[in-house]
Amino acid sequence: MDLNELLKQLPQRPGVYRMFDSLGNIIYVGKAKNLKNRVSQYFKNQKDRVPKVAEMIHNIHTFNYLVTDTELDAFVEECRLIKEIQPRYNKQMKNDRKYVYIKIPAEQYPKVTKVKTKADDGGLYFGPFTSPNRVEMTIRYLNEFYPIRKCTSPGLVKRVNGCLFRELGTCLGVCSGQVSPEEYRVHIENIRQLLNGNDMAVVQELSKRIDMAIENTQFERAAQYREYYLGIRHVIGKQRLVQSSNKNRNILAVEFMDEGHAKFFLIKGNKLLYREVFNNVMTDSTELRQSLKQMIRDKFVTAKSDMERLKQHDIDEAQIIYSYLKKNRQRIVSFWIPSTRLNGETARLDATVLKIINRITSGESADGSLRKD
């Protein structure tokens, strides 16, 4: 069957597609909210294509596709196929993500540094992060606005009058020997609170600095503040993702497909454990309640409670899941189910499931939070 006939048969449904060359090799895997619209774009006469994209399209001999229930299913399936197949053009057209961490060493007067790997050395690590440049901007901000150690020497060299950074007022001057570890730790704790997303006042202050610099026609300074702002927002966002995943929370997400059908997703930490379509979800039925309760017990209770902490190869899937829940909160209702409800008395789980059913059948839209129902 030629490409034109295949294009005509494409459904307007979410799914994943695979492009093949003339030898039958899969050269690209993609996802789509609407398969017909997305795949058809490749074969339209569009000018100014990126050379790598134009080369890939030239090598497409045929394609196939898999329809999914929801866009989230398509995201997850695409991620799985790319890792499994590693198609040629996915690797070429996707920037290689070099994950990095922010490290605060276990020292009396630690510096804040960017490292490529996480070691079991007692240091405090944040990440992994997907943008080395954003991390670099964050560290520059910390060095400019916090009086922390910046010495480039491997050890702590003592100087009677301190160094240039002390004279400039950007460092307490730990090299002078006049700064106690307790005084220094106050600033390290402030940095820790910021990187964990517990001190958003810093982000708000940076936004004000950007506006003020623009008003004073200090455009270069405003551009620098903006880079700091974007860096910190990236770090805080990714750190919250890591923290949510590492908590191994039991999350039930319900995506409404149409008036009578919904897809249920069971998520534990950064893992999508199970997914199933339910019919007649807008009707409060005993059958739905029993099925939901059994599904929650079977999947969450049997899942390992000591899941590994988020690693570099897991962050893509975790990013997909949590970003999707946040972006589609008008169509998706999310519930956090504490482990105590799963392992405790049956009555407690029954009450939780009843609340979930009532929430679903009410037809209310989600508010975006992971509800502690």
Q: Give per-residue pLDDT as tens, 225-235.
A: 999 999 999 99
* Cα 269 from Cα 249, distance rounded (Å): 5
Packed helices 219-246 and 132-145: angle between N→C axes, nearest 10 degrees: 110
Q: Give the pair of three-digit tokens for residue 161.
A: 């009058």
Q: Which CATH number fits domain 3-93: 3.40.190.170, 3.40.30.10, 3.40.109.10, 3.40.1440.10?
A: 3.40.1440.10
Task: Give which of 261, 254, 278 is closest to 331, Cα–Cα.
Answer: 254
Whether 264 contacts 296, CB under 8 Å:
no
Mean pLDDT of 326-331: 78
Token digits of residue 309: 């902490």
In the chain, domain spans: 3-93, 100-244, 247-361
pLDDT tops 60 at residue 179: yes
Contact 11, 33 (CB under 8 A): no
SS3 26: strand
CA distances from 209 to 187, 204, 248 (A): 21, 9, 38
The whole-number average pLDDT for the span 245-262 is 77
pLDDT greater at residue 91 or residue 332: 332
Q: Is the pLDDT of residue 35 over 60?
A: yes
What average pLDDT score do residues 52-65 get? Answer: 91
Alpha-carbon distances, residue 335 vs 24, 131, 153, 305, 338 (angstroms): 44, 30, 50, 18, 10
Task: Return the beta strands (E) in 105-145 as ranges.
Answer: 113-115, 124-129
Q: How confident is the model at residue 150 (pLDDT cuts 50, 70, 90)?
A: confident
**Given a cut of 60, is residue 355 above it in pLDDT?**
yes
Average pLDDT score, the chain: 82
**Contact status, residue 67 vs residue 13, Cβ threshold 8 Å:** yes
At 192, the amino acid letter reads: R
